[in-house]
Amino acid sequence: MQAFLIDTFSFCQNHEQREGSSRIADFPRLSAECAHSDAELNWSLQGGFDQLGHPKLTLTVDGQVELMCQRCLTPFGVEIDSQSELILAKNEAHADEIEAMLEDDEVDVVVGSKTFNVMDLIEDEALLAIPQSPKHAVCPDVELVSSNLSVAANDVDAVDAASTGGKVSPFAVLKKLQ
- DSSP letter string over 111-172? E--SSEEHHHHHHHHHHHHS-SS---SS-TTHHHHHHHHHHHHHHHHHHHHHHTTT---TTH
pLDDT higher than 80, residue 133: yes
Q: How confident is the model at residue 170 (pLDDT cuts 50, 70, 90)?
A: low
pLDDT higher than 60, residue 158: no
Residue 164's pLDDT is what? Answer: 52
pLDDT higher than 60, residue 155: no
Its pTM stands at 0.74
Partners of 18 in beta bridges: 45
Q: How confident is the model at residue 148 (pLDDT cuts 50, 70, 90)?
A: very low
pLDDT higher than 50, residue 71: yes
Average pLDDT over residues 142-152: 48
Residue 176's pLDDT is what? Answer: 65
